[in-house]
Structure 1
Amino acid sequence: MKSKLSDLRGYLMTGVSYMIPIIVIGGVLIALSIALSGVKAGTGANVTNPILVKMMNIGVKAFGLMVPVLAGYIAFGIADRPGLAPGLVGGALASEIGAGFLGGIVAGFVAGYTAKWIKSWKVPSQIRAIMPIFVIPLLSALVVGTVMYIVGAPISNLMKAMTAGLKGMGSANSVLLAVIMGSMIAFDMGGPINKVAFMFGSSMIAEGVATVMGPVAVAICIPPIAMGVATLLKPKKYTMEEKEAGKGALAMGLIGITEGAIPFAAADPVKVIPSLVAGSAVGSAIAAIGKVADHAPHGGPIVLPVVDNKLMFILAIVVGVAVSATLVNILKKDVVQKDKNEDNNIEELDIEF
C-alpha cells in the first residue's frame, strides 16, 4: 500500500515538475503587466499599453497550457511516451469544461493508466509496431475524453447550484458568506469552484455591494503568499523546485494570482489544500468583520488603492497567510534532497560499466 501511494506521488510530481515553468511564465508575465498598469475601481486590472497587453497575452497563453501539461506528464509518468498525448488531450478537455487543475489530475491518471493497460495487451506482431504511435494514444484519448465529458455536466450543475446558494445567503450572514467564499477561492485556486466565488464577488460590485468582494480579494492572495512564506520558513520540507516556485508564488500573490500555489497543491493535495482553505477562510472572516470593501474585481495587495478599511485588509491577509503557512509546515515532513555529487558518481559508474 505504501509503495502504491509512493508511486502515485511520483506520478503527481512528474506532472508538477513540468508544470512549474508554465506557471512561472504565465504568472510572472501577467503579474508584471498588471503591476505596471495598476487597477481601477469597478474595472479591475487595467492593462492598456500595447507592449504590456502583449506581455499579458503571452502569460495568459502560458496559463492555458498549465492543466494540459500537468495531465500530460502525469500520464507520461505512468505509461511513458504513449501516455503523453492522451494526457494532454484529457488536460485540455479538463480546462475546457472548467474542471481546473483537480480535473487535470483526474485526466492524467485516467489517461496514464488506460495507456498502461492497453500497452499490456498481447497483440499480433504486425500490430505491435503501431501500438505506441496509433492504437494506444487513440484509444486512451477516447477513454479520457469520454470521462471528461461525463463529469462536465455535473460540474456545470454544481456551479449553478453554488451560485444560487451564495445569492440566497444575502448580506445578513456576511461573516459566514465570507468564510464560504474564502474557502471556495482557495479550494481549487482558479478552478471552477474558485471562479464561482470570484464571479459572485465581482457581480456584487456592479450592484454597489463592494463588501462581498473585499473578503474575496483577501482570499485570492493568501494561498500563493502562504506557500512562498512556508518555503522560506521551513526550506527542508520542500524540494529545490518547490523552493524556486515559492519565490514566484510570492510575486504572484502580491498581484492577486491564486494559481501560484497550484504546484504545491498538485504535489501534495491532502496536506496543502486544507491548510490553504483554513487560512483563506480565516482571512476572509476577518475582512468581513472589518467591513473591508474592494471596488475592483481583482485581489491581493495590488488592489489596496481601491480598498476601504485598508488596515483590516492588510491584517486579514497577514493572519490568513500565518494560519496557512503554519498549518502546511506542521503537516508536511522534511524531504530528502538529492546530492548532485551522488548523481555525478552514478553517471560515472554507468559510463565505466
Structure 2
Amino acid sequence: MDVKKFLKDCYAAMMAGISYMVPVIVAGGILQAIPNLWTNGAAAEAVEGTIAFTMYSWGSSLFGMMYYVLGMFVAFAIAGRGAFVPGLMVGLIAVNGSSGFLGALVGGIIAGYLVKSVLMKLKLPSVLQSAKPVLIIPLLSAAIMMFLMVFMIEPVCGWLMNLIYDAGRFVESIGYNWLLYAFFGICVCFGMGGPIIAGTVPLMLALIADGNVEVAAVMNCTACASCYGTALATVLFKKKYRPDQRANLPGLLTGGICQITEFQIPFLMDDIKVMTPCYILSGALGGIMVALTGVTTPTFHGGIFTAFLASSVPLHLLCILVQASFTCLFIGIFKKNLSEENEEVSELVAE
C-alpha cells in the first residue's frame, strides 16, 4: 500500500468535502444573521410566522446540514455516487452525536473506501446485478457505517472533540480570551480552508452556540483582513511580485469581500519562508484586536455581508484595517524584491 498516495487521496477528499460544505455554512449563516438587523439581535426569539422567524429557522436548518454535506461529499470524492448513502448515514450520526466535524470527516473517508474497495468489487449473480447500485450497495454500506459510527468512530471522535472543546473552555475560563482568539486567528489565516482551520471550526461553533459571538468576529475579521493586506502589498510593492501575481489582485479582493482565504494559497506557496510568519502573526494580531475591542458578529462567515451586521461596524472595520496594514507592512519589510533579470523574464512570460 502506498501510504503517501493514500494520505494524499484522503486530503483531497477532505478538501472536496469542505468545498461543498462551506457554501452551506455561508448561506445558512447569513440567512440566520440578516433578521438580526431589524430585531435588535433577537432573531432567535422571533414570533412564529414572521419573516424574521422564517429566515432564522430555515437558515438554522440549512446551517445544520453542513455535516451531512461533509460526510456525503468526502465519501463521494473517494468512491463516486455509490458512496452517497453511507456518507449521509455518517453525517446523520455525526450531527446527532458528539463527533461533529471529525466524525463526519473520518466516517466519510471510511465510507468512501468501504464502497470503493469492498462493495464495488462484490461479485453477485447476474440476476442481482441491476439491483447492486440501487439496493445492495446503499443498504449494505449504510448498515455497516451505522454500526462503525455508533460503536467505534463516534465514541473516539466524540472524545477527541470534547477534549478540544474542554481545552478551549479552560483557556476561556482563566480569562485568556485574547490567547484563544489569537490561536483562532492563526488557524484562519494560515489554515486557508485546509485541515488546520477545519480542525478548530467545531470548537468555534461550540463556543458560538454557547453565546460567545466574539469568536464569530475573529473568524470573519481575520480571514478578510489577510486577503486585503496581501492585495494591498501587490499594489504598493510591485517589485516584489511577478506580473502574473499582480494580476491576481481581483482574486485577493474577492477573497477579502467574500471571506475566501484560499486565494492566498499561491502567495504562500511562492514564498513560504516569509508568508508563513506573516500570516501567523497577522492572524494572531487580528484575534487580539477582536478581544481588545469586544466587537461581535452574528455569524462567522459571509465576509462584507456579515461586517454590516457587526455589533460595531467602525470597530469591526478597525480590526480589519489594523491586521491588513500589518500584513502589508510585514510583506514590504521582509519579502525580497525580484531581481531585474527575473523581472524581465516575468514580463516576457506575461506578454
User: TM-score, normalised to structure 1's length?
Assistant: 0.60
Note if contact 2:282-2:326 (Cα within 8 Å) is conserved in structure 1.
Answer: yes
Q: Which secondary structure does the structure 1 equivalent of 2:182 belong to?
A: helix
User: What amino acid maps onto 2:92 in structure 1?
Assistant: A
CA distance in 2, matches of 1:45, 1:16: 27
Q: Which secondary structure does the structure 1 equivalent of 2:34 belong to?
A: helix
Deviation at 1:219, TM superposition (A): 0.8
Q: 1:161 to 1:5 in 2, by over 3 A?
A: closer
CA distance in 1, matches of 2:116, 2:52: 44
Q: 1:232 to 1:182 in 2, by over 3 A?
A: closer
Note if contact 1:176-1:285 (Cα within 8 Å) is conserved in structure 2.
Answer: yes
CA distance in 2, matches of 1:15, 1:69: 7
Specify the alignment match of 1:158 in structure 2: 163
Q: Which secondary structure does the structure 1 equivalent of 2:35 belong to?
A: helix
Aligned length: 292
Specify the alignment match of 1:350 in structure 2: none
1:139 matched to 2:146: no
1:60-209 correspondence to structure 2 within 5 Å = 60-117=60-117, 118-145=119-146, 146-147=148-149, 148-155=153-160, 157-159=162-164, 161-162=166-167, 164-170=169-175, 173=176, 175-180=178-183, 182=185, 187-188=197-198, 191-198=201-208, 202=212
Specify the alignment match of 1:22 in structure 2: 24
CA distance in 1, matches of 2:142, 2:264: 27
1:282 matched to 2:285: yes
User: TM-score, normalised to structure 2's length?
Assistant: 0.60
Q: 1:139 to 1:32 in 2, by over 3 A?
A: same
Specify the alignment match of 1:293 in structure 2: 294
User: What amino acid maps onto 2:132 in structure 1?
Assistant: M
Note if contact 1:75-1:87 (Cα within 8 Å) is conserved in structure 2.
Answer: yes
Q: Which string of whole-angstrom CA distances, capped at 9 and with x for unpartnered residues, describes residues 193-245 of structure 1?
A: 1134435773xxxxxxxxxx65x3541313553587599789x89xxxxx69x
Note if contact 2:99-2:154 (Cα within 8 Å) is conserved in structure 1.
Answer: no
User: What amino acid maps onto 1:89 in structure 2?
Assistant: M
User: What amino acid maps onto 2:284 in structure 1?
Assistant: A
Deviation at 1:18, TM superposition (A): 4.5
Specify the alignment match of 2:218 in structure 1: 219
Q: Which secondary structure does the structure 1 equivalent of 2:38 belong to?
A: coil
Note if contact 1:279-1:322 (Cα within 8 Å) is conserved in structure 2.
Answer: no
CA distance in 2, matches of 1:175, 1:31: 25
Note if contact 1:111-1:144 (Cα within 8 Å) is conserved in structure 2.
Answer: yes
Note if contact 1:163-1:196 (Cα within 8 Å) is conserved in structure 2.
Answer: no
1:314-329 correspondence to structure 2 within 5 Å = 314-320=317-323
1:55 matched to 2:55: yes
Deviation at 1:100, TM superposition (A): 4.4
CA distance in 2, matches of 1:23, 1:57: 14
Deviation at 1:21, TM superposition (A): 5.0
Q: 1:32 to 1:303 in 2, by over 3 A?
A: closer
Q: 1:28 to 1:169 in 2, by over 3 A?
A: closer
User: What amino acid maps onto 2:159 in structure 1?
Assistant: P
Q: Which secondary structure does the structure 1 equivalent of 2:122 belong to?
A: coil
CA distance in 2, matches of 1:69, 1:263: 23
Aligned identity (percent) is 28
